[in-house]
Chain A
Amino acid sequence: DAKTTQPPSMDCAEGRAANLPCNHSTISGNEYVYWYRQIHSQGPQYIIHGLKNNETNEMASLIITEDRKSSTLILPHATLRDTAVYYCIVGSQGGYQKVTFGTGTKLQVIP
């Protein structure tokens, strides 16, 4: 599995957009970019994923660069409940996934 690099922490003002970057320069052609988050003392929660096109759902948007070596997760209007550790993971669909977590980004949403 490709390795990912994320900043260890970020702050964001409540109501503003939170932009969380991720580098995955060794991603292979059939690997997707996944984002999960973990609120304190809970299991990881799926947010969004993409292959090469930008994606949007009710939780967030995912912007993937054309060379696929990096991506950005965007929370358009951050709330205090978005305070969590955000993990960027690359992996292939199908089969049994042994998910490897990096260090993630601790996002603190400030009132």
Chain B
Amino acid sequence: GAVVSQHPSWVICKSGTSVKIECRSLDFQATTMFWYRQFPKQSLMLMATSNEGSKATYEQGVEKDKFLINHASLTLSTLTVTSAHPEDSSFYICSAREPGQGPQLAFFGQGTRLTVV
């Protein structure tokens, strides 16, 4: 199946700094990618839809100025957590799927564990 890869797998940053997480589609072009956040012992919550060449669409309650999404190419979307605070510590996951890629709903990255200290 198609492969979606995230980098880094984990990151620790100081409070107030910004952190960038990359999501790449390795063997297909993804015009749309999705970003999820998952707090401990909770389910995945959709944060935003990343669209290549246009602005991302954010879910209700997600601060677009804090979670900057850039989908500059057909194989790369980035999520930047700006001015990170300890409450932003979470597991961030991206997914992608293009029409005609077969029956799976989506292909998911392995996730990025962000810890803000």
How many contacts A-B (CB < 8 Å)?
A: 61
- Which residues of B sit under 8 angstroms from A94, Cβ to Cβ? 99
| Closest B residue by C-beta to A96 | B32
CB of B49 within 8 Å of the partner chain? yes
Cα–Cα, bound, A57→B44 (Å): 26
Question: Taking the nearest CB of chain A, how far is it from the CB of B17, in angstroms?
Answer: 23
Cα–Cα, bound, A53→B31 (Å): 32
| Closest A residue by C-beta to B96 | A96
**B111–A96 touching, CB < 8 Å:** no
- Which residues of B sit under 8 angstroms from A45, Cβ to Cβ? 108
**B43–A97 touching, CB < 8 Å:** no
CB of B110 within 8 Å of the partner chain? yes
Cα–Cα, bound, A32→B104 (Å): 10
State the interface size on chain A (CB cutoff 8 A).
Answer: 26
**A46–B1 touching, CB < 8 Å:** yes
- Which residues of B sit under 8 angstroms from A91, Cβ to Cβ? 105
**A43–B93 touching, CB < 8 Å:** yes
- Which residues of A sit under 8 angstroms from B95, Cβ to Cβ? 43-44, 99
Identify the B interface with A (CB < 8 A): 1, 4, 6, 31-32, 34, 36, 43-46, 49, 91, 93, 95, 97, 99, 103-111, 113
Identify the A interface with B (CB < 8 A): 32, 34, 36, 38, 41-46, 49, 87, 89, 91, 93-104
